[in-house]
Amino acid sequence: MKTIPFFDIVMMPGVSYVFPDTFFPKLQGWEPKVGETMAFLMMKRKKEFGEITLGDLYPVGCIGTVQSIDETSKAVTVAIEKRMITDTIDILEDGEIELTCSDYPDIMDETAEETEKRLQALKQRLYSFVQPYQWGVVARNFIRGWKSMEQMVVSLANQMDLSVEERYALLETASVAKRHTLMEEAVLAMIEAVKVVEEVSDQQQEEQKKQMREMAIKKQMQILQKELDEMHPETINDARRFEMKIEEAGMNPEAKREALKVLNRLKQEGENGHEYGMLYDYLEFVTSLSWKKEEMPPVDLEKAEQILEAEHYGLKKVKERIIQQLAVMALNKKQSGSILLFAGAPGTGKTSIGKSIADALGRKYARVSLGGIRDEAEIRGHRRTYIGAMPGRIMEGIRRSGSSNPVIVLDEVDKLVFDHGGDPASALLEVLDPEQNSTFVDHYMNVPYDLSDVLFICTANYVDDIPEPLYNRMEVINFQGYTESEKVQIAKRHLLPKAMEQTGLKKGQLKISDKVLHMIISGYTAEAGVRGLRKQLDAICRKTAVQILKQSGKNISVSAKNLTQFLDEPPIRPEIATRKKKPGVVTGLAWTQAGGAILFIESLLVAGEGKTTVTGQLGDVMKESVQIAISMVRSLFPKEAELLKENDLHLHIPEGAVPKDGPSAGITMTTALASLLTNKPVSPEFAMTGEISLQGNVMPIGGLPEKLMAAVRSGVKTVLIPKENERNLKDVAEEIKDQLQIIPVETVQEVLKITGIL
Ligand code: ADP
């Protein structure tokens, strides 16, 4: 007899099973024949047919016969009776199992009526279970067809979640009553399981429906509320207004969450609550920021060039560098790029060209002044727990600009102050660092804001005062200041028309010739930029306005003769002209906050015992320069230097020069001392700049263009510069070079010869 091991069917005597032909090859080539008897045996663990061991087999199984084989080679077999394996069992080579079994009869402890009752009761449960379903009718017919509990359980076996042990238990249980109870339990458990699954999915659906409904209602409410608001705008209260603004602002999720939190507190607080004002200010601030990502209008370089040209005269190099930056940004499709640092004296156009860049890019503009900031919180904001907390200046600037990608000019980064109030420079670094600034958190706002699309431009008068890490992030563009004729052009094209417009003067009502403009510039201003010039022109316009009204509209012309009537102050004489030639005094050139400047180094011998006193500007560099100068003079003029033994030397270096640079006054001091000791005066129209080494070599200096401009402004005629700085002359305007005799020098001896001391 063939033995077929099963593991996943419920086997019951009296029930027929259909085996597809694909099943047979697994049984070592067995081909079923109609009428053949075989044993079904259930397997315990392994599912593979080929590797059965005797321990895998459960002892109770069924014998059955092949009843028919249809055209698709399906064998219909019927289980007939249960058997129990009792004896020697062996697995033969061809895979057949040889075994001895005994009968395994049912214990008939239930009457046929009782069984029928159970069957009908179960069928009823199943009818009502299938009824709500569309397929219920088909299922009903199917249920009706079951003649025994066994048949029912075998049919439902696939739907019931029974383990191999549970299936075997159904077969092994000899007591009919017990078996039928097991069967009942299995069927009822199946019905319950299906119900639970359905209930859960019903609940989920219910939940979803609720959410959808809630959303729909909210939306509807918003629409209706909006309509109401439009009908009665006077009834919109603060909370409602903020609610609408928050909805529309396009904030990032964090910001929106925080804003709604504050809004809730505002509602709870009520208008008379003492925190109301603070909460109101916060909401007002965050909702007036622009949160939406702004598209950058395409950069039109030609137009940008035109705008820069139209709004600022000169500044050729600066404009070139700006256009390069715009081109790089356009190519990279980025709204920001390297951080530009505009360095130069006041009034040289640094801030105003920032505005022109914004115009050229079609973007908004804001100026943030950093001068005198000593507290980190001024940059990054105060935490809201402080009374009177405010956002930092950066975010305030963003708000003023009204956009998320403005051009922001950070004015006077060299004027940040460092003391106990944290480190404003490192806060600023965070603002400028493209790695960090997309999630910049202002303490007041307490949520991140994306600054990565902001184009930052910094300005400074003197770059050496900028903290190193900050300076390293920037690309410096120098604004050298303007020559006199450039200033005339700026006055004519920009400053005067603007001043006239502001005072309400019409074109033609005021005329100022170029000659007079030159007089104003050289006689009334002494600056690298044009701020003073603008003030003078404003003053002329105001006086003109009065005169026009008094003289019933007669046009005014300012001439060399009547200029003094228009300007309050007397003209300033060039500094050099006020100076007399005197031994011990020499003109130097310095690079200062205001661009370039001249200064006079003065020395004096007073009766004493060989002491040296130095007053005025005294950086470390300067002290060393003084020592070198004294040694130099001693070695060059040993005889005259005897004077230093019986006299005290007093050297005065005026303030105003930048300490780090020193006024680059090594040669100036040496010349002053040499002049003093030899009693040979040097003309004040002779200016010089350069450090010296102990060997007497003249060393290079910085800021040559600025210094030469200052020399011209102050009336200097001849300038001695270090030979190594000759190459910087290409950066100096021709107009300046034309007005000066520039003599490059290499050694102190040369300097002394040129000045007539040696
Ligand atoms: P800074 O920021 O360097 O101190 P500003 O930009 O404030 O200087 O300039 C001061 C004034 O001078 C502004 O009114 C500006 O328009 C004007 N100005 C400066 N340079 C030029 C220039 N090259 N052409 C036209 N106007 C200029």
Q: Rounded distance, CA 463 to CA 457, Å?
A: 14
Element containing residue 588 per DSSP (H, E): strand 585-592
**Model confidence pLDDT, tens digit, residues 91-117:** 666 656 777 888 899 999 999 999 999
C-alpha 156/C-alpha 166 separation (Å) is: 14
pLDDT tens figures, 387-413: 888 999 999 999 999 999 999 999 998
Mean pLDDT of the 700-709 span: 90
| Alpha carbon distance 629, 668 (integer Å) | 9
Please give the pLDDT value at position 333: 80
Which numbered atom of ligand 1 lies nearest the CA of 315?
Answer: 23
Nearest in space to 113 (alpha carbons), one of 171, 172, 180, 173: 180
Q: What is the mean pLDDT of residues 336-364?
A: 91
639: pLDDT strictly greater than 80: yes
> Which residue from 530, 534, 536 has its CB within 8 A of the most atoms of ligand 1, so it is best to mutate?
530
Radius of gyration for the alpha carbons in the chain, expressed in angstroms and rounded: 50
Please say whether the beta carbons of 166 and 96 come within 8 A: no
Length of the chain: 758
**How many whole angstroms separate alpha carbon 17 and alpha carbon 457?**
87
Each residue of 654-678: pLDDT tens digit?
765 555 555 588 899 999 999 999 9
**Residues 471 and 414 sit within 8 Å (Cβ to Cβ):** no
pLDDT for the residue 555: 85
Assess whether the C-beta atom of 494 lies below 6 angstroms from ligand 1.
yes
Pocket flag, ligand 1, residue 461 (CB < 6 Å): no
Kindly give the distance from the C-alpha atom of residue 363 to the centroid of ligand 1, in angstroms, as a whole number.
20
Considering only CA atoms, which residue is closest to atom 5 of ligand 1? 349
Percent of the chain with pLDDT over 70: 92
Query: What is the helix (H) or strand (E) element at residue 479, kind and residue range?
Result: strand 474-479
CA 709 / ligand 1 centre spacing (Å):
18
530 CB within 6 A, ligand 1 = yes
How buried is 240 (Cβ within 10 angstroms: 0-12 exposed, 13-18 middle, 19+ buried)?
A: middle
Residue minimizing CA distance to atom 22 of ligand 1: 312
CB of 748 closer than 6 angstroms to any ligand 1 atom: no
- Among all residues, which ones are annotated catalytic? 664, 707
**CB-neighbour burial class of residue 169 (10 A; exposed 0-12, middle 13-18, buried 19+):** middle
What secondary structure letter does DSSP report for 493? I
How much is the average pLDDT of 753-758?
91
**490 ligand 1 Cβ < 6 A:** yes
Task: Give the separation between CA 655 and CA 652, rounded to whole angstroms.
Answer: 9
The CA 711 to ligand 1 mean position distance, Å, reads 22
Would you say the CB of residue 429 lies under 6 angstroms from ligand 1? no
pLDDT over 80 (residue 634) = yes
Strand, helix or coil at 43?
Answer: strand
> Are 458 and 413 a contacting pair, CB within 8 Å?
yes
Distance CA 748, CA 641 (A): 17
Other residues' Cβ atoms within 10 Å of the Cβ of residue 701: 25
> Looking at the predicted structure, is the pLDDT value of residue 204 above 70?
yes
Using a 6 Å cutoff on CB, does residue 314 contact ligand 1?
yes
Task: Return the H-helix or E-strand segment holding 189.
Answer: helix 176-231
At 415, is the pLDDT very low, low, confident or very high (cuts 50, 70, 90)? confident
Q: Which pLDDT band, with edges at 50, 70 and 90, does 53 fall under?
A: low
595-607 and 585-592 strand pairing: antiparallel
Residue nearest ligand 1's atom 24 by CA: 312
Q: What is the pLDDT of residue 630?
A: 92
Please list the helix, strand and coil fractions of the chain in percent, rounded to the nearest 5, in that order: 50, 20, 35
For ligand 1, is residue 312 a contact (CB within 6 Å)? yes
Per-residue pLDDT at 587: 92
State residue 85's pLDDT score: 81
Tell me how far apart the alpha carbons of residues 207 and 214 are, in angstroms, rounded to a whole number. 11
Ligand 1 atom closest to Cα of residue 345: 3
Structure tokens given for 726: 């000759």
The per-residue pLDDT for 720 is 96
Nearest CA to 712 out of 578, 574, 586, 599 is that of: 574
Q: Which two tokens stand for residue 706?
A: 């600025």
Task: Assess whether pLDDT exceeds 90 at residue 350.
Answer: yes
**How many beta carbons lie within 10 A of that of residue 525, not counting itself?**
21
**Quick one: pLDDT at residue 220?**
86
| Smallest CA separation from ligand 1 atom 26, residue | 312
Find the 88 Cα to ligand 1 centroid distance in Å: 113
Asked if 177 and 110 count as a contact pair (C-beta separation under 8 A), the reply is: yes
Ligand 1 centroid to Cα of residue 348, in Å, is 5
Q: How far is CA 79 from CA 84, 246, 728, in A?
A: 14, 75, 111
What backbone torsions phi and psi does residue 6 show, to the nearest 5 degrees?
Answer: -120, 155
Nearest to 582 by CA among 679, 699, 708: 679
- For the cut 80, the answer to whether the pLDDT of residue 421 exceeds it is no
* Residue 335 CA, ligand 1 centroid: distance in Å: 25
For residues 595-613, give the mean pLDDT.
89
Alpha carbon distance, N-terminus to C-terminus of the chain:
137
The contacts of residue 308 (CB under 8 Å, 6+ apart) are: 319, 322, 323, 353, 356, 357, 360
Distances (CA, A) of 271 to 239, 285, 414: 10, 18, 44
Task: Say yes or no to pLDDT of 758 above 90.
Answer: no
> In this predicted model, what pLDDT tens digit does every residue of 556-593 receive, in sequence order?
888 888 888 888 777 787 777 778 889 999 999 988 77
pLDDT(50) > 70: no
Q: Which of 6-15, 191-200, 317-326, 366-375 has the lowest mean pLDDT?
A: 6-15
CA distances in angstroms from 223 to 211, 216, 287, listed in the order given: 18, 11, 21
Residue 698, pLDDT above cutoff 90: yes
pTM to 2 decimal places: 0.67
